[in-house]
Structures are given as C-alpha cells and as structure tokens.
C-alpha cells in the first residue's frame, strides 16, 4: 500500500511545528504519549469549567468557579513578607476580595486600577467568613471580556505542561484538521445522528457543559466508533488473510465420534452439540479454521475438543493440543485418554521432561503418523517436532498469549486448522477487542451431573469455625483447597502469607495432612506438591493463585479463599470452579477481613448469587474496568484513547460487523468508502493493518 495519504501529513509532523511548542514541551508531552498533532486531536478534555458570566457571587457554592463583573476598590498590601496582597472589589450585590501571594504591587495596580470595572474569573472560596478569589484565572477590561470562553475544556496534564499551553497546542492541531472522506456506513451514521469527522473532532474540544463529555454524546460516540472501527478493520484484515490461506478439507466420517458418544454416561448439552457442529463445518472448508471456544468453568470443553481432534483423525490426519503448563497438559491427557481408548485412537504426551531415547521414540512415531493425537506444552512446537499430517492444533488458555503468538502457532501447522479454548468467560465487548479476528463458539450450559457449589461469605474472625469444618470434612475423606491472597505485588509477602497459613494449619490438623504450593517454588517442587494432592496423599492444599487454571481433583469439595475481597470477580469464579467436580456436595467459603467496603461487598454478593461466569464477567467489567479485568499488560487488549469498552460495548459489536461487511464487499478496499477506510487506518496508526493490505 502506498505511503501515508498527503492530507494527513500536517497531522503527523513534529509537535514542535505547532506555535509555542519548544523542545522541552515536546519531551513533556511525550510522557502523555503525545508525539504528533494527530495525538493532540485525540487527547480529549476530561472535564469542563463553566465560565458563563453571572451578576453576583452571592449564593455560589464554594469551591465553584465564577465569572463576574466587579468594580475595583482599595488595595491592601501584606503586613509581613510573603503575606497575602488583597484587592477589595464589589459585584452587583456584594463585596469580595481578590487575593495574591508573592504579588508585584505595581503590576496589580496597573491591571486593577482603583475605581475601574473589570471582569474576573476564578475559583470562589470562603475564608474567615469573607468571599475571596485566590489568583483569578482571568482579569480583563469589560470590553475584552469576550476572550474568556463560556465553557473551558480541561485536559489531562503532566509536569512541564500547563492548561494554557495544552489548550494552545490543541488549538494549533485543530487548525490543521482536514476534511476527510466518510468511512462510516452512511446508514449507520444517519441512524446514530453522528456528525462528520472534522466537525466531531472540533466539537469534542469545545464542550458546552459536562453532558458533552458523556460517552453517549453523538460527538464522543462518533470518535469512539472511529477508533473501534479501525481496530476491528485490522482484525478483519488479519482474519481475511487467514481465510485466504489454503487450508485442508478435513471431512468427518463420524465413525470414531459415534463410538465416543455411545460410551458417554450422559448426552452432550445443546451448546456442546452446536459447538461440535460449528467446528466440524469449519474443518470441512477449503480454508483454515480460526475459532475460539469459550466455555465457563465446567461447561465441558474437553468433550468438544476431543470431537474436533477426532474429525482430524477420521480425515486421516493428526491433532495436537497445547496447554500452558505441564500439569494442565497431563490433566488434558487424563481427561481425553478414557474417551480416546473407546474410539481406539493412539494418544501421547510430549513435554519438556521427555529427553533422549524416549523423546526420539515419540518423535519418530509422530513423524510416521503412528501417534494420532499429541498433547503437550509449547514443546510441541519446537523445531525438531514433525507431524506426518497435522490437521488441527488446539491451544488451551489463550489469554496467556496474544494475536502474534497465535499467528506463529498457525505457521507451524502449515495448513492446520486452529482452535483456541478459554475457560475465562469474557464480556462480549472485550472478547471482540481481543478475538475479533476469530469466529466464536460459546458453551453456556453446564453438563448434567455437576453439583452446584454452595457459596458462603464469612468474616476472618470466624477462622476457628472454618478450621473445625475442615477437620470434619477431612475425617470424611474429602479434600480442600486453601487459597491465600497476594498481599501486594512483592512475591515475598505473598510467600509469607501462604507459608504462615501452612504452618498454622499444619499445627492444627497434623503433619502429613497439609501441602503447600506457591509461585516462588521451583517448577519440579510445585508439580510434586500438586501431584501429592491429586493422588490424595495430602488432604489440604495451601496455595497462592497458581491453582487458578484447570486443575482437576474431583475429590476436592471445599475451597477456602482468604481475603476474598482483594481478588477480582473473574478470578474468584475461576478458583471456585476448582471444586464441584465430583459427586460430593461442594462449598466455597469466601473469607473477608472486616470492615468490608461497598465494592468488596458487592463483589462477594454477586458470587454468592450466581454461578454464571458471563454475568460475573459483565459485573466485573462494570466495577473494575477493562484494563484490570485481564491485566492490560499481558492481555493483548488494545489501548483506546477515546473509546470506553465498559460504557460503549455496543459500539464494538457494530464496528465488528461493519468492518467484516465492508471487507466482504470490497476485500482490497478500492471503492470510495474503502479508500476512506484506508485513510482511517493511517489516521489511527494501524500500521499492522496497512501492511496486511500490502498490495494496494
């Protein structure tokens, strides 16, 4: 694609090309991520000051900003050095004082001559019963008072940048705003009542009140939509490129699948049946599958995964399933093995532990095609691992890596279909931001036979009762997780919390009963501790959150989460999902340290009321915001300057369908609207998308 369109050049020039912006300011603005006039346009005001003129300050609630016409009275110099210099003034109804510190007397007498009329604007405060304005923002002769804006935009700043400087720089950037062709679908723009881009960007910097800053205001909604549209176009282009890559048609015969279904003690849920059909259809197509399987805790993803792997085997090929850790890989193996045996399929495990002759034997069998399904860690995709005919790669717990790694994985399989699984229910707006390039299947029903988990909220003051409850459960042969909080980010205190609790419980319950696992242990020790718990050698496992994902111990029926109020909702939901996997009635005890704040209480109540992961995730998003929910750093979530994923979730869905629709009609973006969309991608710095169009 040709370079940046010429009409955008002025917006991508250096900041120092704006009047009043020198090298120091450029450096300071860099701290806010502002590197070009274009960035200033999207640095929208977060507040607005009402500077409309009033007759009097009487009845104003301090500290409110007022603009008022006054007659200047006596000047009173400070009695001592560094004291306040006061100027008495009178408005239409009452008197007040203008107060200055470190004042220059001559200057103040010049701008506030006694007996003259002036318009002043600033924050009104009361001190010792007197109304006063300390260092007014504006002092002007009446005939020049029109210079004071009725509403003044307030920008986020950093040291070295004042409001005045920022306002001036933004005004300079606004002078360069070109008229750009429209990239939004005309019907969509008309329906929403959105202005054209240039008008929207100007209006966003001239708010006429707080309502104009709302994400629902047509101006803000339009600019947010532009940002989401550019993001979704990028993902849609990536998806289009994937789809144009030739894949393999893998047609299921159903022979192996039928054997497995016949051996199941229950019937698959409607959601499982639907997901299996969607995946089988994708695999039969000539281009590559790129699908996300999203299922709540215990929704039965393993069965769907196996059915997908069997499609690959029935078509004469191989399937691979990759998990983030060795424990999880072994667990997938244990979950799949009994069903694979019913189907008569050869299943093998490959992890970093396989060395020497054993590893060589497995690799040779794989290359010959003797191993039909391979389960493992990322060791599956090392250079020397060769498949005879890999048709499907399944990746578990995707949120551990982003879009880039997904593409790398797909490269390895040549033309293999890709299925990504996640047990983290993600609100729709976030899943579109993160997985907009994929097709999504959702498992939103629980298979029969899973007992609901009873959730109770207890204060840490009742620790003794909780331990007594444990003692009774252990006597009945049941097992328990005890999760300790991350006290703060330093690993050491997290460690102490877990170790202290471990010693305490060991003293109360006996030596071999309690095990410990935490993030600082060497991986081999961690695996050994987990293995003892899985095999039933220890009854209580004290852990930090390392057990959050995927560990399956059907005999564990109690989950105690200490300082539950410090965890995120989604995380608590994941932890609770570790119990209730067997026949025994299960309990989750959420222990909090009183007093409990409003947010903490609401979080724990939502968990007590529902086991629906999607409802929990939506509440979590409302309460915490998108960045915290997935931890923006490792989530691969884009950072938006205008769009607010919590409040504008609906716009993301519209942007996705619009972007996909546009590319279906105009894959090379050559039409007038397609050309406008290219300008949007340049404007939004979507360089990746621009490379994907490539050919233009």
**Average pLDDT, consecutive stretches of 10 residues, N- to C-terminus, the chain (696 residues):** 82 90 89 91 91 86 88 88 87 90 86 90 87 90 86 88 90 95 93 95 91 91 94 84 77 91 87 94 89 80 92 94 83 88 92 88 94 88 84 75 55 75 72 73 76 86 90 90 70 66 88 82 80 87 68 82 83 82 83 83 84 75 53 50 79 90 90 93 82 56
The CA distance from 617 to 424, in Å, is 9
Tell me, what's the pLDDT at 300?
83
Per DSSP (E only), the strands in 230-378 are 290-295, 318-322, 347-350, 373-376
Is 255-443 CATH 3.40.50.150?
Answer: no
What angle is formed at CA 140 by the lines to CA 139 and CA 142, rounded to 5 degrees? 135
3-state class (DSSP) for residue 393: strand
451's enclosing H/E stretch is none
pLDDT at 683: 92
Query: What local confidence, expressed as pLDDT, does residue 44 receive?
Result: 93
> Which pLDDT score is estimated for 410?
54
Q: Domain locations in the chain?
A: 6-48+156-213, 52-148, 221-245+647-693, 255-443, 453-610
In angstroms, the CA 471 to CA 509 distance is 7
The Cα angle at residue 466 between residues 464 and 470, in degrees rounded to 5: 115
To the nearest 10 degrees (0 to 180), the angle between helices 218-244 and 672-683 is 100
What integer pLDDT is reported at residue 629 of this predicted model? Answer: 43
Domain covering 52-148 assigned CATH 2.30.130.60 in the classification: no
What pLDDT is stored for residue 494 in this prediction?
Answer: 52
- Cα gap 443→293, rounded to integer Å: 7
Q: Please give the pLDDT value at position 413.
A: 54
pLDDT confidence of residue 351:
87
CA 150 from centre of chain: 37
Q: H or E element: which one contains 382? A: none
Three-class SS state of 49: strand
* Dihedral angle computed from the Cα positions of residues 571, 573, 578 and 579, in that order, rounded to the nearest 10 degrees: 150
For 79, half-sphere exposure in the C-beta direction (CA atoms, 13 angstrom radius) is: 0
52-148 matches 255-443 in fold: no
Q: Are 215 and 224 in contact (CB under 8 A)?
A: yes
pLDDT, residue 78, reads 87
Q: Is the peptide bond before 63 cis (omega within 30 degrees of 0)?
A: yes
Global model pTM greater than 0.75: no
CA dihedral 379, 384, 387, 392 (to 10 degrees): 40
**CB-based contact 679:179 (threshold 8 Å):** no
Which residues have CB under 8 Å from 146's CB, separation 6+?
Answer: none
Give exposure, 485-498, as e/b (b: 16+ Cβ within 10 Å). bbeeeeeeebbebb
Domain 453-610 - what CATH class? alpha beta
């Amino acid at each position: 694609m040709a370079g940046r369109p010429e009409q955008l050049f002025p917006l991508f020039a250096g900041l120092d090309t704006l009047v009043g912006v020198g090298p120091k300011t450029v450096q300071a603005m860099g701290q806010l991520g502002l590197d070009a006039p274009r960035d200033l346009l999207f640095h929208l005001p977060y507040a607005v000051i009402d500077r409309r003129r009033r007759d009097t300050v009487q009845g104003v609630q301090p500290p409110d900003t007022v603009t008022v016409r006054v007659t200047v009275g006596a000047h009173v110099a400070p009695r001592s050095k560094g004291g306040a210099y006061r100027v008495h003034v009178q408005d239409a109804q009452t008197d007040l004082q203008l107060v200055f510190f470190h004042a220059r007397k001559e200057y103040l007498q010049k701008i506030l001559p006694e007996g003259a009329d002036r318009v002043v604007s600033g924050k009104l405060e009361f001190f010792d019963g007197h109304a006063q304005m300390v260092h007014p923002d504006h002092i002007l002769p009446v005939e020049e008072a029109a210079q004071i804006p009725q509403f003044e935009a307030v920008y986020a700043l950093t040291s070295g940048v004042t409001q005045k400087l920022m306002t001036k720089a933004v005004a300079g950037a606004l002078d360069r705003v070109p008229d750009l062709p429209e990239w939004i679908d005309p019907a969509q723009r008309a329906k929403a009542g959105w202005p054209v881009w240039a008008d929207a960007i100007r209006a966003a910097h001239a708010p006429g009140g707080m309502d104009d800053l709302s994400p629902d205001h047509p101006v803000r909604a339009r600019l947010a939509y532009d940002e989401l549209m550019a993001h979704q176009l990028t993902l849609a282009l990536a998806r289009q490129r994937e789809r144009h890559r030739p894949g393999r048609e893998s047609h299921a015969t159903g022979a192996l699948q039928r054997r497995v279904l016949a051996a199941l003690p229950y019937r698959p849920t409607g959601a499982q049946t639907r997901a299996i059909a969607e995946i089988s259809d994708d695999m039969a197509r000539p281009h590559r599958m790129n699908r996300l399987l999203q299922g709540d805790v215990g929704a039965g993803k393993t069965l769907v995964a196996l059915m997908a792997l069997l499609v690959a085997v029935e078509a004469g090929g191989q399937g691979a399933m990759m998990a983030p850790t060795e424990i999880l890989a072994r667990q997938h193996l244990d979950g799949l093995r009994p069903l694979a045996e019913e189907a008569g399929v050869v299943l093998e495990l490959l992890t970093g532990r396989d060395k020497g002759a054993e590893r060589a034997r497995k690799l040779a069998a794989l290359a010959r095609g003797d191993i039909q399904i391979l389960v493992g860690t990322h060791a599956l995709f090392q250079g020397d691992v060769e498949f005879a005919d890999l048709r499907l790669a399944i990746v578990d717990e995707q949120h551990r890596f982003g879009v880039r790694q997904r593409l790398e994985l797909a490269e390895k399989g040549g033309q293999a279909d890709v299925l990504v699984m996640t047990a983290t229910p993600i609100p729709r707006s976030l899943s579109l931001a993160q997985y907009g390039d994929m097709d999504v299947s959702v498992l939103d029903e629980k298979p029969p036979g899973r007992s609901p988990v009873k959730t109770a909220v207890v204060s840490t003051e009742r620790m003794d009762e909780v331990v007594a409850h444990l003692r009774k459960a252990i006597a009945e042969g049941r097992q328990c997780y005890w999760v300790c909080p991350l006290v703060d980010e330093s690993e050491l205190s997290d460690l102490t919390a877990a170790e202290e609790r471990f010693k305490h419980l060991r003293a109360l319950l006996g030596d071999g009963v309690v095990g410990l696992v935490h993030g600082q242990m060497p991986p081999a020790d961690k695996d050994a501790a987990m293995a003892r718990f899985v095999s039933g050698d220890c009854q209580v496992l004290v852990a930090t959150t390392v057990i959050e994902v995927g560990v399956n111990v059907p005999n564990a029926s109690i989950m105690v989460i200490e300082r539950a109020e410090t965890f995120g909702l989604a995380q608590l939901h994941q932890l609770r999902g570790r119990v209730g996997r067997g026949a025994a009635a299960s309990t989750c005890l959420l222990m909090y340290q009183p007093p409990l704040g409003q947010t903490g209480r609401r979080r724990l109540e939502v968990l007590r009321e529902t086991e629906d992961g999607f409802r929990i995730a939506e509440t979590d998003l409302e309460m915490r915001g998108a960045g915290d929910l997935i931890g923006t750093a490792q989530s691969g979530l884009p950072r938006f300057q205008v769009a607010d994923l919590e409040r504008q979730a609906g716009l993301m869905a519209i942007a996705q369908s619009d972007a996909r629709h546009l590319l279906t009609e105009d894959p090379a973006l050559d039409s007038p609207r397609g050309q406008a969309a290219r300008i949007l991608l340049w404007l939004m710095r979507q360089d990746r998308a621009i490379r994907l169009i490539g050919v233009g």
